[in-house]
Amino acid sequence: MNRRDFTSTLASATAALALPRAVRAGTPAAAPSPLVNGVRLNSHLAALSEFGRNPQGGVTRLAYSDADRAARAYVTRLMREAKLDVSVDAGANILGRRAGTDAALKPILFGSHIDSVPEGGNYDGDVGSLGAIEVAQTLSDAAIVTKHPLEVVVFQNEEGGLWGSHAMTADLTAEELSTPSRSGKTIREGIAFLGGDPDKLARDRRRRGDYHAYLELHIEQGATLERERINIGVVEGIVGIRQWEVTVDGFANHAGTTAMLERHDALLAAARLIEAVNRIVLGTSGRQVGTVGRIQAFPGAPNVIPGKVVCSLELRDLDARKIAVLFARIESEAKKIGEQNGTTISFKQVTENVPAPTDPRIRALIVAVSRELELTFRMMPSGAGHDAQDVAQICPVGMIFVPSAEGISHAPKEFSHPKDIENGANVLLHTLLKVDAAPLAP
Q: Which residues bind Mn ion (CB under 5 A)?
A: 124-125
Buried-exposed string 227-266: b where 16+ CB fall within 10 A, e elsewhere = ebebbbbbbbbbbbbbbbbbbbbbbbbeeeebeeeebbbb
User: For residue 189, with 0-12 CB atoms within 10 Å meaning exposed, 13-18 middle and 19 or more buried, which class applies?
Assistant: middle
Pick from Mn ion, ligand GLV, none: which does 385 bind, CB < 5 to 8 A by kind?
ligand GLV
Q: Which is nearer to ligand GLV, 159 or 333 (CB)?
A: 159
Bridge partners (DSSP) of residue 304 are: 254
Q: How many CB atoms lie within 10 A of CB 301?
A: 11
Q: Which backbone phi and psi does 380 adopt, to 5 degrees?
A: -165, 155
Q: Which residue's CB is nearer to ligand GLV, number 54 or number 253?
A: 54
In this complex, which beta carbon is closest to ligand GLV, that of residue 190 or of residue 385?
A: 385
Q: 394 touches which of Mn ion, ligand GLV, none (CB within 5 to 8 A by kind)? A: none
Kindly state the smallest distance separating residue 93's Cβ from Mn ion, in Å: 14
Closest separation between CB of residue 99 and ligand GLV, Å?
32
381 contributes a contact to ligand GLV by CB under 6 A: no
Residue 136 touches ligand GLV, criterion: CB under 6 A? no
Taking CB atoms, the residue at the shortest distance from ligand GLV is 384
Geometric angle at alpha carbon 296, from 294 and 301, rounded to 5°? 150
CB of 158 to Mn ion, least distance (A): 6
* Alpha-carbon dihedral angle through residues 3, 5, 10, 15, given to the nearest 10 degrees: 140
Tell me: does residue 385 bind ligand GLV (CB under 6 A): yes
Site size for ligand GLV (CB under 6 A): 3
Residue-wise DSSP of 117-135: -TTB-SSTTHHHHHHHHHH
Cβ at position 159, least distance to ligand GLV in Å: 6
Interacting residue with ligand GLV among 68, 134, 151, 159 (CB under 6 A): 159
Question: What distance in Å separates the CA atoms of residue 94 and residue 182, rounded to the nearest whole number?
Answer: 20
Residue 317 CB-half CA count within 13 A: 20
* Residue 307 near residue 253, CB atoms below 8 Å: yes
Indicate the residue among 49 and 426 with the shorter CB distance to ligand GLV: 49
Phi (first) and psi of residue 174, to 5 degrees:
-60, -40
Binding residue (CB under 6 A) for ligand GLV from 71, 366, 384, 402: 384
Q: Of Mn ion, ligand GLV, none, which one sits near residue 420, judging by CB under 5 to 8 A according to partner kind?
A: none
* Identity of the residue, 164 or 385, whose beta carbon is nearer to ligand GLV in the bound complex: 385
Closest separation in Å from C-beta 385 to ligand GLV:
4
Our CB check for ligand GLV shows the closer of 75 and 384 to be 384
**Which positions lie near ligand GLV, rule CB under 6 A?**
159, 384-385
